Amino acid sequence: MRLIIPLAITFTSGMIMILNFFIPHQPFALLGENLQEWYMIVASGAIFLGSANLLHVHFRKTRLKLKNWKYSPVTIVGFLVMIVLGLIYGVTENLPFDYLFMNMVAPMGATMFSLLAFFVASAAFRAFRASNWRATLLLTSAFLVMLGQVPIGAMIWDKIPLAKVWLMAIPNTAGQRAVMIGAAMGVVATSLRMIFGIERSYLGGAD
Amino acid sequence: MADIFTRMGNLDRRIIFILIALAVIIPILTDLIIPNIVGAEPSRDLFEFVDALPPGSNVILSFDYDPSTMPELQPMAEAVVRHLFLKDHRIIGMALWPQGAALGQDAMSSLSDSLGKEQYLDWVNLGYKTGGGVMIVRLGTSMRAIFPTDRDNVPWSEIPMLQGINSLDDIQLVISLSAGDPGIIAWVMMAGDRYDIPIGGGCTAVSAPQLYTYLQTEQMVGLLGGLKGAADYETLVGIENGEAIRGMSPQSVAHIAIMLFIIIGNIAYFTQKRKGGAR
């Protein structure tokens, strides 16, 4: 039963959603809408699960004084402060929760992402070599896109932005489309395998 | 000479970090402005589509990003909001990412007063809702079922601008400012392909290549790619010295610096190779 019930739920839900897509009339329309709402409720529940897991991990790390444990109390305090302020004041603009979000969370988040520029520069310096004709082609394309992506490219030569648009729209699109079609076919195949109970790894067991 | 390049090939990465920092800081401190020229880019397509919409159109602006990608996407949000307000369109803000709702609120409310727009008459922020693509599909049948209240808990029935809006059929354009998944692709697949709603978007420069496929198939009406896309939109809207336009100078210098590093690295590589030392 532990296996049959989840498989039956997956099969029924999957078939309802497929039928809802191809036959958007009753009773499939209503069933589909209900399932969509259930999905959103379950996904909301996952947020609570994630929050509980975050606290569990960091309390444990602090208690056992694991590597870099000193950052964990900061995470816990920050998390609890935002939760308490959110519950008391809500998320309305200019109230404490929003104030802390806009003036602490937002700048810190932006700073973390901006660090990427330094690592990209360092990695490009060490690894981007014109070692063969394919790498040279990639390097040339990268230069054209980098120059076309900033106004200085047009100042150097007004055809550079056009070259960038061409590279993005033609060779890039051809490659991206191939990857996307392949991935989409994989998604369809995996979904069907799950709906029909062939693929069961999502249940957590090997069989 | 060859030794110099060999030594440069082994440059300490801290020096690279410092030089990149200087490449960004100096143009900011010196107020260097490099004029932004908008060519035949997908950003122009989005601008022209918004421009051609009849006044009073209902536009969903989905803030599908978080603070980490804010430097690229927030200037975009502000430029798009300004354009929509100037054209008298009604903005229905929402977010597929939890933190996007607050950033969207900031973009809309900061411009609303200066342009004489009123919350609930000209714009509303419905906030974040979980579910990604599934949530978008449900919007196709009932928006009120998904958002019974706005972000500040004001009921749907008490928001004047939402009266008469039931589902995605009542929306003339969706613009998703997206930093990943769920984002533009979910909107294209669920709202664009399924309900035939025009989709425009803005994304980080790194994710733009993937989205060009949707431009060619006309599944998207336009795309703002990275800070350049934001600068293009600011230029087209007529924002002088906007945040993205000012950001173009440090980005230009930083790109040149990175390219110089790559060239130096390659010279060092070939110098070593000639000596028989390169791997």
Domain ranges within chain A, ordered by starting residue = 128-198
A75 phi and psi angles, rounded to 5 deg: -60, -45
- State which residue of chain A sits closest to B150, comparing Cα positions: A92
Calculate ∠ Cα B93-B246-B176, nearest 5°. 20
Average pLDDT, integer, range A93-104? 92
Query: CA-to-CA distance for A129 and A135, rounded, in angstroms?
Result: 7
* pLDDT reading at A111 higher than 80: yes
By Cβ distance, the residue of B70, B152, B228 closest to A110 is: B70
Query: Please, what's the largest Cα pairwise distance for chain B?
Result: 77
* pLDDT reading at B273 higher than 90: no
- State which residue of chain A sits closest to B127, comparing Cα positions: A91
Q: What percent of chain B has pLDDT over 90?
A: 83
How do residues B145-168 score in pLDDT, each as one tens digit? 999 999 999 999 999 999 999 999
Query: CA-to-CA distance for B39 and B153, rounded, in angstroms?
Result: 43
Q: What's the pLDDT band for B95 if we cut at 50, 70, 90? A: very high
* pLDDT reading at B279 higher than 80: no
Q: What's the pLDDT band for A33 if we cut at 50, 70, 90? A: confident
pLDDT at site A113: 85
pLDDT at site B82: 97
> Which DSSP state fits B33?
-
Give B42-240's CATH code, choosing from 3.40.50, 1.10.4160, 3.40.30, 2.60.40. Answer: 3.40.50
Beta-sheet strand order (sheet of B123-128)? B123-128, B90-95, B58-64, B173-178, B199-203, B222-225
- Pairwise CB contact (< 8 Å): B205 & A149: yes
By Cβ distance, the residue of B39, B69, B216 closest to A169 is: B216
- Pairwise CB contact (< 8 Å): B135 & A146: no
Decide which of B58 and A1 is more confident.
B58
pLDDT at site B1: 64
A-to-B residue pairs, Cβ atoms closer than 8 angstroms: 167
ipTM of the complex: 0.86
Average pLDDT, integer, range B85-112? 95
Average pLDDT, integer, range B82-90? 97
